Amino acid sequence: MGLLFAKLMTVFGDRQHKVIIVGLDNAGKTTILYQFLAKEAVHTSPTVGSNVEEISVRKTRFLVWDIGGQESLRASWNSYYCDTEIVILVVDSTDRERLTLTREELHRMLAHEDLQNAAVLVLANKQDVKDSMTAAEISQCLTLSSITGHPWHIQACCALTGEGLVTTARKAALRSRIHEQDQLTWGHHLLQFSGPELRWLPGRSQLPAARGHSQLSCWPDTQFGAEEREGLVEDPLRPQP
């Protein structure tokens, strides 16, 4: 799991960076937090309030807040937004009935002034469950293609095994703020991290609905324009019929 933060470390400087993990209850947020920290699944109970852990990769420190997702707690999410550089939204890929609610919460968050410079990483969790939604399906339901003010990436994953989280690190790196003088260099990093299985798709306004895509990204950047990239790899997490 440290690969995700190792990739981020190559872009961020040597300071502590704040990450928040949000999502509805039972999405798998706490399990993902401790996969990042301990590289193993741990027994968890519903989070009341929040969990916070410092995750160090080489000399880079990430302060990661896992925030409870019950209805009674979601109104307090905004108290964690200040100085957040990355928002990790965990989605239960089997919970079709509440995906509209997840979309509403996501877009409400991104409208908050304290998150105006935050990057967004959506983790489509529970891909090991048969008939779970794909990353492409969830992307469309969340209308990620309408997000133009934040870099975003969606990745299929399984929190219990850690599958897909390493892929996230290999395919995309997130950051919250691109300084004017670093924009061209950052664009190079994006291309470098995306690897040979991704390609640029300039001018695309709609994300693909095809099954078998485990990740999708859009990185608004003044050097490159708002360009979308489509993962061309077969999704290794989909249960076989």
140 labelled binding-site residue: no
126 is in an annotated binding site: yes
Phi, psi angles (nearest 5°) of residue 18: -90, 130
127 known member of a binding site: yes
Q: How confident is the model over 202-231, as pLDDT tens digits? A: 333 333 333 455 666 665 443 333 333 333
In the prediction, which pLDDT does 171 show? 37
**Residue 194 has what pLDDT?**
33
Q: What is the pLDDT of residue 10?
A: 54
Known active-site residue 70: yes
In this prediction, residue 6 carries a pLDDT of: 57
User: In sequence order, what are the beta bridge partners of 56?
Assistant: 61
Q: What is the pLDDT of residue 2?
A: 52
Residues of the chain with pLDDT below 70 are 1-15, 39-46, 48, 56-60, 166-241
What does the pLDDT look like over 104-141, one tens digit per residue? 999 999 999 999 988 888 999 999 999 999 999 999 99
Give residue 11's pLDDT: 52
What 232-237 contacts at long range (C-beta under 8 Å, 24+ apart), as own/partner pairs, is 232/197, 232/198, 232/199, 233/197, 235/127, 235/134, 235/135, 235/156, 235/211, 236/163, 237/127, 237/128, 237/156, 237/157, 237/158, 237/163, 237/164
Q: Per the annotation, does 69 bind a ligand?
A: yes
Q: Sign of the C-alpha dihedral, residues 72, 174, 196, 158?
A: negative
Active-site entry in 16, 70, 192, 223: 70
pLDDT at 178: 38
Q: Which of 49, 58, 50 is nearest to 13 (CA)?
A: 58
